[in-house]
Structure 1
């Protein structure tokens, strides 16, 4: 602990926040719309940060650039891209089938908007909020 104040300011009962902002008035909250949750979720999707098969596609492009864009010179890269595309397509179809079947998911982050809307229809929030109030 210091023996002296570095700015040589005498400590008093002055509120320093009021000194720097003298017109600091509290802002009143005005409710524009009723504050309640809806019984549905918007149909927006989150985008994946990593694009599918991007690494395989880039290796194919570099191989094609080296071989003057002859596809016969890069059979390994073409096969790798095709298998990656097939895996992604199968995974996407399985995800769509799970969403249509309303199958239970392991975490809430995997819920699609259709599944969330179906759950909100079964268990509406308005009835719960009336009990709380």
Structure 2
């Protein structure tokens, strides 16, 4: 018959507290060695510039709820269809304005969400010291 140890807890303590992750603490802090010089680049990539949010989600949910309630008869849900259509038209107009500003590279003062082209324009205007 095999006997189990009395205490299966960690025997390593840091400041009289057992670590939660089960790892053994290092004896001294690990030294950081930088292989390359640390500085920021003068450009950003445009990979994540696509729109993340869904347009007119609330209106679409109301429209589908109306369709479900009325067995998908479109004539009974004309008010919801019109609201969804108006929202879509507003969204497409705003999107075309934003695309035009992004294409021209015009910086609007106080804008929080800048495109990658606008950010690159600002970074070229104020380059990082090396």
Does structure 2 retain, via aligned residues, the 8 Å contact 1:41–1:113? yes
**Which of 78, 83, 99 is matched with 2:81 structurally?**
78
Q: Where does structure 2 lack aligned partners over 5 or more consecutive residues?
A: 1-13, 18-23
Higher RCO, Cα 8 Å, sep 6+: 1
Which structure has more helix as a fraction of its residues? 1
RMSD: 2.6
* 2:70 maps to 1:32: no
> Aligned pair in 2 of structure 1 residues 23, 93: CA closer, same or farther (>3 Å)?
closer
Does structure 2 retain, via aligned residues, the 8 Å contact 1:18–1:24? no
**Which of 111, 116, 119 is matched with 2:114 structurally?**
111
Matches within 5 A, 1:39-118: 39-43=42-46, 44-45=48-49, 48=52, 51-107=54-110, 109-118=112-121
Q: Where does structure 1 lack aligned partners over 5 or more consecutive residues?
A: 1-16
TM-score, normalised with respect to structure 2: 0.71
User: 1:104, 1:96 → 2: CA distance?
Assistant: 13
The list of structure 1 runs, each at least 4 consecutive aligned residues, that deviate by more than 2 angstroms after superposition, is 17-24, 45-48, 106-110, 118-124
Secondary structure of 1:77's counterpart equals helix
Residue 55 of structure 1: how far off its partner (Å): 1.1
